Structure 1
């Protein structure tokens, strides 16, 4: 029953990709994705479980992680980086901080025509309307706008979260790495996502 549910979900998910982003996928690829997802789920849920659990109170430290992947005009991997900071930011402030870091890195690499993608509609609208204010979020947006004024070929585009999974996967992986990590070759954690997006 679970395999059928996984298959139905995958068909529905990839049907939405065709409708929303016009990115069709071959039926055998859908089957392979379902097979991999089922095996991942089955492996995790059938591991031997330890009965001794130690409670650790939640930490008061807030960790913000971000990931960025630079690609060329054909979608090929050029470079990437991931970063972790111990700061207290709201979700939208964290999204703005991540975009600001990506813009700074792109500028340092000498990239001059860059389309940045964010799944935060609040952030993309604040940049588009050049919203000002005194909040932490507004100050970060002001820094983003300053960079965009000096790098006139930088553009920010809103994308659905599903289309931004490479950056989210890098950000999640950063939790277990050093505070800053730069990639010149495709990291294994995003390799399959990049290959799927290019097909």
Structure 2
């Protein structure tokens, strides 16, 4: 067992014990998807912060074993990249963030949205992909890369998973929208490479609906864009 696999195992044990206590002592229901998403996020943050010596993971669209991206990566020529992120706040609702950038890293547009919905984490993560793809259709893009730090959603999109759950129905809606493009690529990245979308997703202090950004984003997201630009160039 490698270093990263050992850390995943240990974090999983911690997360399962923590949520087991919620069930027994707080009599609260626990969403298994949320538990695994939490494990994924913690391990990604540890790896991104340099706490893991073994660098095993995906690099951009190729997801090549043994390589780790050093930051946000530009899309191929003639493509735009749409980064997405979602957050679920208990008792508040769901917030999502979307940012679209071209092959030079220039911001084309972004979306921040808050909704008073009691969605599970995996539903929120696939819904933000839908929002990003739908906006790309509206703006007339033809070749897109959609990038998320939720591996389960990216794998489901790549496999063209189907079913009758709300998650699967949202996937079907995304696949239908994809007929409008000449080319679509799905990309998984670590959370620390998805900072702009993450900033937009958490930019709304309360549930206020939808805000669209063009060219220039809010300051906290612009700081993340500027940081990415230093890595790109």
Q: Same fold, TM exceeding 0.5?
A: yes
Higher helix share: 1
Residues 87 and 116 of structure 1: CA distance in aligned 2, closer, same or farther (over 3 Å): same
* Aligned-pair Cα RMSD in Å: 2.6
Q: Kindly tell me the number of residue pairs found equivalent between the two proteins.
A: 154
Alignment deviations for residues 168-188 of structure 1 (CA, whole Å, 9 cap, x no partner): 111111234731111122221
Q: Is the 8 A contact 2:92 2:116 kept in 1?
A: yes
Asked if residue 70 in structure 1 is aligned to residue 100 in structure 2, the reply is yes
Question: Partner residue of 1:130?
Answer: 160
Q: 5+ residue gaps in structure 1?
A: 1-8, 24-58
Q: Aligned partners of 1:118, 1:99: CA distance in 2, in Å?
A: 8
* Of 50, 53, 57, the match for 1:12: 50
* Of 137, 143, 147, the match for 1:107: 137
Q: Is the 8 A contact 2:92 2:206 kept in 1?
A: no
Q: Aligned partners of 1:110, 1:129: CA distance in 2, in Å?
A: 26
Q: CA deviation at 1:60?
A: 7.3
What are the within-5 Å matches in structure 2 for residues 1-199 of structure 1? 12=50, 20-22=68-70, 61-176=91-206, 178-184=208-214, 185-199=216-230
Q: CA deviation at 1:120?
A: 1.0
TM-score, structure 1 length as denominator? 0.69
Q: 5+ residue gaps in structure 2?
A: 1-46, 60-66, 72-88
Residues 160 and 102 of structure 1: CA distance in aligned 2, closer, same or farther (over 3 Å): same
Question: Partner residue of 2:85?
Answer: none
